[in-house]
Amino acid sequence: MSELISYQLEDGIATLTLANGKVNAISPDVIAAFNAALDRAEQDRAIVIVTGQPGILSGGYDLKVMTSGPQNAIALVAAGSTLARRMLSHPYPIIVACPGHAVAKGAFILLSADYRIGVEGPFNIGLNEVQIGMTMHHVGIELARDRLRKSAFHRSVINGEMFDPQGALDAGFLDKVVPVEQLQETARAAALQLKKINMTAHRNTKLKVRKALLDTLDAAIELDKQHLV
């Protein structure tokens, strides 16, 4: 697919691996590659596994782009938010196999998936926007409000609290935590289990369950385009 996101199809399972520098920064090119990979996975009618490099899923948006000017930042966030919405409404299940850190947009990738597996270790998962001087965007607030447990929502979004993998499991960023050497086999087992469900029923039920969220995100994307983030 791209050197930024590799695509491997095996047994009806498409594995998308992010590889963009040490922190897998989410840039406009990464988002374009991500969308192209999802296009291909949809054509292949494949269950999707999204993963990263050893120790990290993603550290968030590319700061070079975010600091290059307000319009560039707004455009990048809008593209990332549109990707999150697409993941939430993707017609086939999306699993994230998180190999370590998942910060800011990296954590939002977790919140946009159907099933999330993390690994044990000294890793940080969460939304650090207010720590680095960014007011949380509307889409981020609404996505976190919907997917995080109520007890963790304010701590995460307003306080910028970061979680270790077990804390991230409790907060709602992850569904399961395994030893790092078991990550890929656990993700594959989850994908094989999901292959057994009826995909038409999965798609239609997903859209019903998430209709209010998707409508809210559509409005939030437009709001974020009108304001600096």
pLDDT tens per residue, range 140-178:
999 999 999 999 999 999 999 999 999 999 999 999 999
Cα 28 to chain centroid distance, Å, stands at: 15
51-106 tens-digit pLDDT:
999 999 999 999 899 999 989 999 999 999 999 999 999 999 999 999 999 999 99
- Rounded Cα distance, 45 and 198, in Å: 12
Q: Are 126 and 159 in contact (CB under 8 A)?
A: no
Tell whether the model's pLDDT for residue 16 goes beyond 60: yes
pLDDT value at residue 121: 98
Kindly indicate the confidence band of residue 1, based on its pLDDT and cuts at 50, 70 and 90. very low
Tell whether the model's pLDDT for residue 127 goes beyond 60: yes
Looking at domain 5-227, its CATH superfamily turns out to be 2-enoyl-CoA Hydratase; Chain A, domain 1 (3.90.226.10)
- Rounded Cα distance, 37 and 43, in Å: 10
Q: In 3D, which of 118, 128, 176, 172 has the Cα closest to residue 150?
A: 172
Query: Pairing state of beta strands 125-126 and 115-119?
Result: unpaired
- Rounded Cα distance, 9 and 194, in Å: 16
Sheet holding 162-163, edge to edge: 55-58, 100-103, 125-126, 162-163
DSSP state of 6: E
- Rounded Cα distance, 125 and 107, in Å: 6
pTM, two decimals, is: 0.96
> What spatial distance separates the first Cα and last Cα of the chain, rounded to whole Å?
31
Per domain, the residue ranges of the chain are: 5-227
Alpha-carbon distances of 78 from 71, 169, 191, 218, 227, rounded to whole Å: 10, 27, 29, 10, 11
Q: Can you tell me the mean pLDDT for 193-206?
A: 98
